[in-house]
């Protein structure tokens, strides 16, 4: 099997773009990525596109061909849907296809348009990633679902709202200089604690925003990269995916994320690394408690110990293991279908040393991207490594 190289990346600004279509956003990110890679679009052999709510927000299904068309690419194109993990799942399939010789050059990414909907409409659209029969019809939304997970975590392992506030503060600080971030605004612990409640114990600054945006990664086989003399110094060396029961009430424990644990274990084994080898991570912090669950599932902390990591400085910019140097979903934003590949784009820049926050991880060699769907009924983990 070939080593899969990241040849180029592209991102739009994450924020409010209600007047722009998802295909327009994807075109911007994709053309940027192709230019960054320095490849001929005629060489692209497949397009993998992540999108979650296109039927609801744009009355548009069958989006794969539209994604390819937006890039001016004549190649088979497929849309992948796995809620908030849509482009992470698309990336996993692309990595496996490049490894297996199905394609030497692939475009993979995602886009989401959400701010053309009202708050009530976008909340309802997002809610369909939960179990409609037993959760959505009972009034469950994702702030409420993650609030239940936070409450269960506090009850089993301890932790406070102030611990979660430190995560929000950290990620807002990381986003300050990220030109792609939706919120380039510093907040304090006091502001986070005093912000309006959303679903107890979660408050406004515990939640990610509603976001429009797109992200694209160009993948190349090692042979293609060598033959075309590409500057592709980052490889995706491990990939893993896990699953769990859809509805929270069907799970044995809602204070942990076994799907993410399974995905991490598979990805680490695939790459031949361990959690202790990881230098930097981008994790799915749709809510502050989600970052806690993610870092524990990835093996960075024992179960019940991740909640104080930001407060103790471990996961901050100057900590031993910086997490979400992009700003994360919390501050960079969460255009659902684009989030998975946006994490990989950010990590690529961090490992190459050309990210605005690379100075905090100058010697980083191994990164991990963690992308989750729903209340982590789906999870995808990718290991990335700087290579010669």
Residue 121 has pLDDT above 80, yes or no: yes
Q: Give the whole-angstrom CA distance, residue 68 versus residue 61.
A: 14
Q: Is the pLDDT of residue 1 over 80?
A: no
Going by their DSSP bridges, the two strands 77-80 and 234-243 should be labelled as unpaired
**% of the chain at pLDDT higher than 70:** 100
Q: What is the pLDDT of residues 325-353, one digit of tens each?
A: 999 999 999 999 999 999 999 999 999 99
Q: Which of 32, 71, 17 is nearest to 49 (CA)?
A: 71
Residue-wise pLDDT for 269-321, tens only, equals: 999 999 999 999 999 999 999 999 999 999 999 999 999 999 999 999 999 99
pLDDT at 162: 98
The string of pLDDT tens digits covering residues 8-42 is 999 999 999 999 999 999 999 999 999 999 999 99
On whether the CB atoms of residues 324 and 368 are closer than 8 A, the answer is: no
Assign 2 a pLDDT band (cuts: 50, 70, 90): confident
pLDDT confidence of residue 374? 97
Residue 388: pLDDT above 80?
A: no
CA–CA separation, 112 and 215 (whole Å): 10
CB 79 within 8 Å of CB 58: no
Percent of the chain with pLDDT over 90: 99
Domains of the chain: 4-117+214-386 (3.40.47.10)
Averaged pLDDT for residues 43-66 = 97
Which residue numbers are catalytic? Answer: 84, 334
- pLDDT (tens digit per residue) in 211-247: 999 999 999 999 999 999 999 999 999 999 999 999 9
358-380 pLDDT, tens digit per residue, is 999 999 999 999 999 999 999 99
| Beta carbons of 357 and 177 less than 8 angstroms apart | yes
pTM of the model: 0.97
């Amino acid at each position: 099997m070939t080593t899969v190289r990241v040849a180029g990346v592209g991102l739009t600004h994450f924020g409010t773009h209600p007047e722009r279509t998802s295909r327009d956003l994807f075109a911007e990110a994709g053309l940027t990525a192709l230019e960054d890679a320095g490849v001929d679009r005629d060489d692209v052999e497949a397009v993998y596109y992540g999108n979650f709510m296109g039927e609801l927000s744009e009355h548009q299904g069958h989006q794969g061909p539209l994604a390819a068309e937006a890039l001016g690419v004549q190649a088979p194109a497929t849309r992948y849907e796995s809620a908030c993990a849509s482009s992470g799942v698309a990336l996993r399939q692309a990595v496996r296809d490049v490894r297996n010789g199905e394609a030497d050059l692939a475009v993979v990414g995602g886009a989401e348009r959400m701010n053309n909907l009202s708050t009530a409409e976008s909340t309802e659209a997002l809610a369909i990633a939960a179990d409609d029969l037993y959760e959505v019809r009972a009034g469950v939304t994702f702030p409420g679902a993650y609030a239940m997970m936070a409450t269960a975590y506090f009850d089993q392992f301890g932790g406070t709202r102030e611990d979660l506030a430190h995560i929000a503060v950290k990620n807002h600080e990381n986003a300050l200089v990220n030109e792609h971030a939706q919120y380039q605004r510093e907040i304090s612990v006091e502001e986070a604690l005093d912000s309006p409640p959303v679903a107890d114990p979660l408050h406004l600054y515990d939640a990610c925003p509603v976001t429009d945006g797109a992200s694209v990664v160009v993948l190349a086989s090692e042979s293609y990269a060598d033959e075309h003399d590409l500057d592709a110094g980052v490889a995706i060396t491990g990939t893993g995916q896990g699953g769990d029961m859809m509805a929270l009430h069907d799970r044995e424990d809602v204070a942990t994320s076994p799907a993410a644990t399974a995905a991490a274990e598979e990805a680490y084994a695939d790459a031949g690394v361990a959690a202790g080898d990881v230098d930097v991570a981008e994790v799915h912090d749709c809510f502050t408690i989600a970052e806690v669950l993610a870092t524990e599932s990835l093996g960075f902390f024992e179960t019940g110990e991740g909640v104080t990591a930001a407060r103790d400085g471990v996961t901050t910019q100057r900590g031993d293991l910086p997490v979400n140097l992009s700003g994360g979903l919390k501050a960079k934003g969460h255009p659902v279908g684009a989030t998975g590949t946006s994490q990989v784009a950010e990590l690529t820049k961090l490992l190459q040393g050309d990210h605005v926050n690379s100075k905090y991880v100058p010697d980083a060699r191994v990164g991990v991207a963690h992308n989750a769907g729903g209340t982590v009924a789906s999870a995808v983990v990718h290991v990335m490594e700087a290579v010669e």
